[in-house]
Amino acid sequence: MIYLDYSATTPVSFDVLDSYNKATRDYMGNANSIHSLGVKSKVLLNSAIKQICELFNIQENELIITSGATEANNTALKGVALYNQKRGKHLIVSKLEHPSIYSICEFLETQGFEISYVNNDSDGLIDFEDLKKKIREDTILVSICAVNSEVGIRQPLKTIRQIIKKENPNTVFHSDITQAIGKIPVSLHDVDLASMSAHKIFGPKGIGFLYKSSKVNLVPLIHGSGKFNDLRNGTPPLPLIVALSKACRIALKDLESKEMKVKKLNERICLELENYDGILINKTKYSIPHILNISFKNIRPETFIHALEEDEIYVSTNTACASLELSTSVMAIFNDKRRAMSTIRISLSYVTTNEEITKFLNIFKLRYKQLNNLLKEDE
Backbone angles phi, psi at 16, to 5 degrees: -65, -45
The answer to whether the beta carbons of residues 67 and 240 sit under 8 Å apart is no
187: left (phi over 0), alpha (psi -120 to 50) or beta: beta
CB under 6 A: which stretch of 88-96, 174-182, 261-269, 327-335 binds ligand PMP?
174-182
**Annotated catalytic residue, options 105, 145, 270, 321:** 321
Candidate list 19, 75, 84, 100; residue touching ligand PMP; CB under 6 A: 100
**What is the footprint of ligand PMP within residues 5-24 (CB under 6 A)?**
none
Candidate list 70, 94, 171, 343; residue touching ligand PMP; CB under 6 A: 70
Q: H-type helices in the chain, by residue range?
A: 14-26, 36-56, 69-84, 99-110, 128-134, 157-167, 238-251, 255-273, 301-309, 328-334, 337-341, 354-378
Cα 320 from Cα 4, distance rounded (Å): 12
Please return the burial class of 255, using the count of CB atoms within 10 Å of its CB with bins 0-12, 13-18 and 19+.
middle
**Is 248 among the catalytic positions?**
no
Cα 95 from Cα 294, distance rounded (Å): 19
Asked if 178 is part of the footprint of ligand PMP (rule: CB under 6 A), the reply reads yes
Please say which residue, 41 or 328, places its beta carbon nearer to ligand PMP: 328
3-state secondary structure of 242: helix
Please say which residue, 144 or 273, places its beta carbon nearer to ligand PMP: 144
Backbone angles phi, psi at 281, to 5 degrees: -95, 120
Candidate list 58, 65, 118, 145; residue touching ligand PMP; CB under 6 A: 145
**What is the footprint of ligand PMP within residues 254-283 (CB under 6 A)?**
none
Please say which residue, 135 or 231, places its beta carbon nearer to ligand PMP: 231
CB under 6 A: which stretch of 65-73, 263-271, 296-304, 348-356 binds ligand PMP?
65-73
Asked if 219 is part of the footprint of ligand PMP (rule: CB under 6 A), the reply reads no
Residue 222 carries which side chain, given as an amino acid letter? I
The number of helix segments (H) and strand segments (E) in the chain equals 12, 12
Candidate list 3, 42, 78, 176; residue touching ligand PMP; CB under 6 A: 176
Cα 293 from Cα 317, distance rounded (Å): 9
Please say which residue, 135 or 145, places its beta carbon nearer to ligand PMP: 145
Asked if 222 is part of the footprint of ligand PMP (rule: CB under 6 A), the reply reads no
3-state secondary structure of 96: coil
Please say which residue, 108 or 307, places its beta carbon nearer to ligand PMP: 108
Nearest distance, CB of residue 68 and ligand PMP, angstroms? 3
The count of C-alpha atoms lying within 13 angstroms of the C-alpha of 265, restricted to the half-sphere facing its C-beta, is 27
Asked if 153 is part of the footprint of ligand PMP (rule: CB under 6 A), the reply reads no
**What is the footprint of ligand PMP within residues 179-208 (CB under 6 A)?**
179, 197, 208
Nearest distance, CB of residue 77 and ligand PMP, angstroms? 12
Q: How far is CA 1 from CA 108, 308, 371, in A?
A: 42, 11, 21
Cα 91 from Cα 86, distance rounded (Å): 14
Please say which residue, 117 or 276, places its beta carbon nearer to ligand PMP: 117
**What is the footprint of ligand PMP within residues 311-330 (CB under 6 A)?**
319-321
Asked if 69 is part of the footprint of ligand PMP (rule: CB under 6 A), the reply reads yes
CB under 6 A: which stretch of 38-46, 57-65, 86-94, 176-184 binds ligand PMP?
176-184
The residues assigned a catalytic role are: 321
Give residues in contact with ligand PMP (CB under 6 A). Answer: 68-70, 98, 100, 145, 149, 176, 178-179, 197, 208, 319-321
